[in-house]
Structure 1
Amino acid sequence: MPLFFFSLRFLFLSAIIPLLASIVLYRFDTFDPALLPSDALVYSTDSISPLINDQLLTGAEFIGAGLLNSPEDIAYHRDSGLIYTGCVDGWVKRVKALESVNDSVVEDWVNTGGRPLGIAFGLHGEVIVADAYKGLLNISDDGKKTELLTDEAEGVKFKLTDAVAVRDNGVLYFTDASYKYNLHHFAFDLWEGKPHGRLMSFDPITRTTRVLLRYRYFSNGISMSADQTHLVFCETPLRRCSKYYINEERVEVFIQSLPGYPDNIRYDGDGHYWIAMPSGVTMLWKLSFRYPFIRKLQGLAAKYGFDTMIFENAGVLQVDLDGKPIALYHDSKHSHVTSGVKIGKYLYCGNLVYSHILRLDLLKYPAQKRL
């Protein structure tokens, strides 16, 4: 009999008490996820590309292996032939990519003291950096001078300065993915499911920062159109990219129901945009975005050190100027692809977790028609 009561007490202590504690934590935790817009939960076939390479890692080469710590964005400077990328240790690095990856050269150029994400080039040789923690930076005089351009708008500080593009009149357009959560806690912005992102502009002549669009869902990558009339920017949890017409100040959908969650978007100068997706759509992501209570559980788990964000089947989608899918390059074994840039015959991919830039020869390993 004593053994029986001991077993009951053990069952109570090991199962019932943790369960009750979990219920209490859930009920009284102030983290309050919201329902996402209904169109974010639609999984249509509109964004399925006719061409596919589902083995991105096959034939891939790794540039700067061990020398590039999570190179998030990639910007190619055509005049110098150099690739600029921002790393998690604060370095903006310059890469000379040669035919042989072993001969490629990586240079520590400028350390922002923060986390450089988006990179673009100004009209007079400047390098414009969207630093997640610092704000919008201007690096000039071949790296000798770093200037903070702006770090707030309408009295609200940027929490996650993300991506930047430059118009031919010198005006800078950029995103603040969240005014509530910084990069270290970006997952909570996704889990909360509320629009904390903004699209903004900075005029270097008037030194004015304008908020162009508010209430965006984790506003991420941004690219200027070839004709300079509009921007294309991404909203990660909605799996959507939208156009913002600069003169008309209006928005329309560019592409939606993407096969993954978009990060950076790059125009290649040849009639195509390349949309990087750190993860494809998985069952867990589907359920999380459909049901706020699951995202609340994920948030609670994260507060106690358990990471439930699973990234897989990452890749890059090539689309035309109208947002029509052309080709998808992805791999079920790959994750955290944050940028894709076509330079010559190669696709270069940045990421959030690896110590290299991935390069794929598009002629040797092309996307092919679906079977």
Structure 2
Amino acid sequence: MPVFFFSLRFLFFSAIIPLLASIFLYRFDTFDPAPLPSDALVYSTDSIPPLINDRFLTGAEFIGAGLLNSPEDIAYHRDSGLIYTGCVDGWVKRVKAFESANDSVVEDWVNTGGRPLGIAFGLHGEVIVADAYKGLLNISDDGKKTELLTDEAEGVKFKLTDAVAVRDNGILYFTDASYKYNLHHFAFDIWEGKPHGRLMSFDPITRTTRVLLRDRYFSNGVSMSPDQTHLVFCETPLRRCSKYYINEERVEVFIQSLPGYPDNIRYDGDGHYWIAMPSGVTTLWKLSFRYPFIRKLQALAAKYGFDTMIMENAGVLQVDLDGKPIALYHDPKHSHVTSGVKIGKYLYCGSLLDSHIFRLDLLKYPAQNRL
């Protein structure tokens, strides 16, 4: 009898109480995920290119190992040959890469006091930074002057200034991934499944900030087309990149049903865009996006310190100017690849996780035809 009583008490405290507590927390928590658009739940092989390197960590070299703390975006300044990247400690760093990765030089250039993400170059030597916490910044006079350009639009403050591109007339185009959640809580924006993102422009002459598109799903990377007629921007949870035609003010799909969740997108000057994907599509991601109650459980777990944003099989997708997939470089063992840009014969990649930039020699380790 005492043993039986002990077993019941053990069951009550180890299983029943936690279950009841979980039900209580679930029912009364105010977090309310929404269904995603139906096209976000379509999984197609149309975006899988004919050329694939599925072990792209093999042969990769580390640039600035130990000196770059989560280098999220990568911007290459062709005139100086310098790579600019923003790190989690607030530093915008400049990197000089050489043929030998070990000879690379890293310079602490400017600390924004925030979290620099997207980087672009202005028409007069400025470096434009989308700082997740500060807003859109202009760094000039070789780093001696940092100016806040804008941190709100239509009376709504930016919560997650993400990526930026510059048109040849000097107008800046940038994304605010979420006006509701900041970078520290970005996962809740993904889990909530509601469109809090915006695509905007800033005119440095009139100092005017315009909202070009609202109600975007975590609007992320943005790149100017080579003919300057449109932008290509990414919406992470939808696995989609779209075109925004500047003069016509209209949107059309560029590529969708991506094999991963897009972050930054970069044009290489040679007829191709490179789309970084921090994670490939996994079974858990599929279930989460299809069923809002799973995303609510993930959010509840996160509130109590459990990370359920499992990322794997990250990579970079090369597409042509029409959005046709050309080559995919990925690795099942890697995650959190947030940017990819082709510089010469190398593919350089940034990350939210690594303490370096890694590069791959595309001539030595090319993507090859699928069998």
TM-score for both structures, normalised by structure 1:
1.00
Stretches of structure 2 that go unaligned for 5 or more consecutive residues are none
Q: Distance in 1 between matches of 2:4 and 2:298?
A: 37
Structure 1 residue 370: Cα displacement: 0.2
1:185 paired residue number: 185
Structure 1 residue 217: Cα displacement: 0.1
Q: Distance in 2 between matches of 1:314 and 1:195?
A: 24
Structure 1 residue 98: Cα displacement: 0.3
1:363 paired residue number: 363
Q: Distance in 2 between matches of 1:303 and 1:33?
A: 15
Deviations 1:6-54 (A, max 9, x none): 2111111111011000000000000000000000000112101000000
Structure 1 residue 70: Cα displacement: 0.3
Instruction: Say how many residue pairs are matched.
Output: 371
Structure 1 residue 203: Cα displacement: 0.1
Structure 1 residue 127: Cα displacement: 0.0
2:354 paired residue number: 354
Q: Distance in 2 between matches of 1:148 and 1:215?
A: 25
Structure 1 residue 146: Cα displacement: 0.0
Q: Distance in 2 between matches of 1:262 and 1:221?
A: 8
1:294 paired residue number: 294
Any idea what SS the aligned residue of 2:284 has? helix
Structure 1 residue 111: Cα displacement: 0.2
Any idea what SS the aligned residue of 2:226 has? coil
Name whichever of 8-17 and 343-352 sits farther off: 8-17
Deviations 1:308-337 (A, max 9, x none): 011100000000000000000000001100
Deviations 1:118-164 (A, max 9, x none): 00000000000000000000000000000000000000000000000
Q: Distance in 2 between matches of 1:4 and 1:321?
A: 71
Q: Distance in 2 between matches of 1:44 and 1:37?
A: 16
Find out whether 1:168 has 2:161 as its counterpart: no
Structure 1 residue 268: Cα displacement: 0.3
Structure 1 residue 5: Cα displacement: 1.3
Name whichever of 316-325 and 7-16 sits farther off: 7-16
Name whichever of 3-12 and 95-104 sits farther off: 3-12
Deviations 1:96-127 (A, max 9, x none): 00000111100000000000000000000000
Q: Distance in 2 between matches of 1:47 and 1:277?
A: 13
Percent sequence identity over aligned pairs: 94
Deviations 1:156-197 (A, max 9, x none): 000000000000000000000000000000000000000000
Structure 1 residue 3: Cα displacement: 2.1
RMSD: 0.4
Any idea what SS the aligned residue of 1:296 has? helix
Q: Distance in 1 between matches of 2:118 and 2:296?
A: 30
Structure 1 residue 2: Cα displacement: 2.1
Q: Distance in 1 between matches of 2:248 and 2:18?
A: 56
Any idea what SS the aligned residue of 1:62 has? strand
Structure 1 residue 350: Cα displacement: 0.2
Any idea what SS the aligned residue of 2:180 has? coil
Find out whether 1:220 has 2:220 as its counterpart: yes
Structure 1 residue 84: Cα displacement: 0.1
Q: Distance in 2 between matches of 1:305 and 1:67?
A: 28
Deviations 1:282-329 (A, max 9, x none): 000000000000000000000000000111000000000000000000
Deviations 1:240-271 (A, max 9, x none): 00000000000000000000000000000000
Runs of 4+ residues deviating >3 angstroms: none
Q: Distance in 2 between matches of 1:169 and 1:307?
A: 44
Q: Distance in 2 between matches of 1:51 and 1:2?
A: 67
Any idea what SS the aligned residue of 1:298 has? helix
Stretches of structure 1 that go unaligned for 5 or more consecutive residues are none
TM-score for both structures, normalised by structure 2:
1.00
Q: Distance in 2 between matches of 1:329 and 1:180?
A: 33
2:92 paired residue number: 92
Q: Distance in 1 between matches of 2:158 and 2:120?
A: 19
Any idea what SS the aligned residue of 1:300 has? helix
Q: Distance in 1 between matches of 2:278 and 2:35?
A: 23
Q: Distance in 2 between matches of 1:54 and 1:10?
A: 49
Deviations 1:58-88 (A, max 9, x none): 0000000000000000000000000000000
